[in-house]
């Protein structure tokens, strides 16, 4: 047998060994037995093996700014941040300018409201002045008519001056009457002016300008990413100076919220019926025999679903339905997010 044949046999034996180990680890050795009445009873295995990862229940948040532009500031990876800290800043100078313009318009609108609120007093004063003017004209008409009568009383009916004086006084009275009509019309125009309507209009304009200012300030916040909670910046996928567009292929920042670690494990559908909440779990690193953790099954999914992370990894099935369960970990101080583990669920 040549060297190639020996290598081929070695590869086959290695594959068979790995497959056997996989089957041994992944298959709970359930069997059927007899109860006291001779009926068949399923004998449950001592444990079920499931693969999972250390995660946090809220999950990683993929963050991206709502407005686009050049990146002017960005947090570093593995940085611990508090809620509200700026993680990424896009150039927002134009947005800030619009906010300042909106604030200036509020100042103008406030002055308009102040002016509108003194209109009732002004209108009242104008009405009083106009009424005084009409009274003055009326008094002048009355005085002129009295003067006319007095002058005519001094003359005889056939006196040639009678006609001249009568025409002169009548002309003056007519002019005063026209002036009185004009002043009365002006008074009606003043009385028709609605001061409250103008106040309402000014206040409505101020409210509109205030809303526009709030909208402009809100738009400013869209140019930055703030930490949604206390946590860690895991990965940054953009760089300072880079221009962000409207159709990102990936989030700008991957953010890990501060939360206790859990293990999100997936049990094959074949063994899902055996998993119950409250069962004890032994958790081991999947790549080496080292640290181990203790845990408890916290919650179980309500459905059988495809695996959440269909990646090609050793001993992972991607074409079967699995039952996802969340496992609380007693002490996860030595664990890391994303660490792949074996979860041995005690039946």
Whether residue 179 sits in one domain with residue 114? yes
Give the range among 6-20, 87-101, 153-167 with minimum mean pLDDT: 6-20
CATH number, domain of 73, equals 2.40.50.100
Long-range contacts of 145-153 (CB under 8 A, 24+ apart): 145/169, 145/173, 148/173
Angle at 44 between CA 39 and CA 50, to 5 degrees: 155
Asked whether residue 298 is domain-assigned, the answer is: yes
Which residue range forms the structural domain that includes residue 237?
Answer: 61-90+223-254
Band (pLDDT 50/70/90 cuts) for residue 176 is confident
According to the model, what pLDDT value does residue 82 have?
94
Decide if pLDDT at 111 tops 60: yes
Whether residue 234 sits in one domain with residue 168? no
- Give per-residue pLDDT as tens, 55-64: 998 888 999 9
**CA–CA separation, 48 and 41 (whole Å):** 19
Q: 233 or 190: whose pLDDT is higher?
A: 233
- Give per-residue pLDDT as tens, 294-327: 898 999 989 888 877 766 666 566 667 888 899 9
According to the model, what pLDDT value does residue 199 have?
86
Asked whether residue 31 is domain-assigned, the answer is: no
Band (pLDDT 50/70/90 cuts) for residue 8 is low
According to the model, what pLDDT value does residue 29 have?
46
Residues 6+ positions from 238 with CB-CB distance below 8 Å: 71, 74, 88, 244, 252, 253
Asked whether residue 321 is domain-assigned, the answer is: yes
Whether residue 317 sits in one domain with residue 273? yes
Asked whether residue 6 is domain-assigned, the answer is: no
Whether residue 81 sits in one domain with residue 150? no
Of 235, 254, 273, the residue that ends a domain is 254
DSSP result, 146-190: HHHHHHHHTS-TT-THHHHHHHHHHHHHHHHHHHHHHHHHHHHHH
**CA–CA separation, 329 and 140 (whole Å):** 103
According to the model, what pLDDT value does residue 32 have?
52
Decide if pLDDT at 160 tops 60: yes
Whether residue 320 sits in one domain with residue 242? no
Asked whether residue 103 is domain-assigned, the answer is: no
Whether residue 190 sits in one domain with residue 333? no
Beta-ladder partners of 345 = 48, 281
- Give per-residue pLDDT as tens, 124-135: 888 788 888 888
Asked whether residue 170 is domain-assigned, the answer is: yes
- 197-207: average pLDDT: 90
C-alpha closest to that of 211 among 111, 113, 106? 106
**CA–CA separation, 233 and 245 (whole Å):** 21
Q: Considering only the C-alpha atoms of the chain, give the largest distance between any 2 of them, rounded to a whole number of Å.
A: 166
Asked whether residue 38 is domain-assigned, the answer is: no
Whether residue 229 sits in one domain with residue 82? yes
CA 3 → CA 6, 8, 9, 12, 14, distances in Å?
Answer: 5, 9, 10, 14, 16
- 37-45: average pLDDT: 67
Asked whether residue 120 is domain-assigned, the answer is: yes
**Domain total in the chain:** 3
According to the model, what pLDDT value does residue 33 have?
55
Band (pLDDT 50/70/90 cuts) for residue 23 is very low
Whether residue 210 sits in one domain with residue 112? yes
Whether residue 81 sits in one domain with residue 52? no
Give percent of the chain above pLDDT 70: 84
Angle at 103 between CA 99 and CA 104, to 5 degrees: 120
According to the model, what pLDDT value does residue 24 have?
46
Whether residue 338 sits in one domain with residue 267? yes
Whether residue 209 sits in one domain with residue 131? yes
Whether residue 327 sits in one domain with residue 182? no
Q: 122 or 8: whose pLDDT is higher?
A: 122
């Amino acid at each position: 047998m040549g060297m190639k044949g020996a290598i081929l046999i070695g590869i086959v034996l290695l594959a068979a060994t790995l497959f056997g180990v996989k089957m041994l680890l992944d298959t709970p050795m359930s069997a059927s037995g007899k109860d006291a009445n001779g009926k068949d009873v399923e004998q449950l295995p001592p444990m079920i093996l499931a693969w999972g990862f250390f995660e946090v229940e809220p999950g990683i948040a993929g963050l991206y700014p709502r407005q686009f532009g050049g990146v002017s500031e960005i947090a570093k990876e593995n940085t611990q941040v508090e809620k509200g800290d700026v993680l990424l800043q896009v150039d927002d100078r134009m947005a800030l300018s619009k906010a300042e313009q909106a604030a200036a318009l509020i100042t103008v609108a406030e002055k308009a409201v102040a002016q509108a609120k003194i209109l009732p007093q002004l209108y009242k004063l104008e009405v009083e002045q106009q009424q005084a003017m009409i009274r003055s004209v009326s008094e002048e008409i009355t005085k002129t008519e009295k003067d006319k009568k007095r002058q005519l009383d001094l003359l005889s009916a056939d006196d040639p001056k009678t006609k001249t004086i009568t025409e002169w006084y009548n002309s003056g009275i007519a002019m005063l009457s026209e002036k009185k009509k004009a002043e009365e019309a002006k008074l009606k125009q003043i009385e028709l002016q609605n001061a409250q309507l103008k106040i309402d209009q000014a206040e409505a304009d101020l409210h509109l300008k205030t809303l526009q200012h709030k909208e402009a300030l809100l738009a400013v916040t869209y140019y930055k990413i703030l930490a949604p909670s206390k946590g860690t910046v895991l990965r940054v996928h953009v760089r300072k100076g880079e221009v962000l567009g409207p159709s990102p292929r990936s989030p700008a920042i991957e953010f890990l919220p501060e939360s206790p670690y859990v293990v999100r494990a997936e049990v094959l559908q074949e063994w899902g019926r055996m998993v119950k909440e409250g069962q004890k779990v032994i958790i081991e690193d999947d790549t080496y025999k080292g640290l181990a953790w203790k845990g408890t099954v916290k919650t179980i999914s309500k459905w059988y679903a495809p695996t959440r992370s269909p990646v090609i990894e050793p001993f992972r099935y991607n074409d079967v339905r699995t039952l996802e369960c969340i496992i609380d970990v007693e002490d996860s101080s030595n664990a890391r997010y994303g660490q792949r583990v074996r979860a041995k669920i005690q039946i």
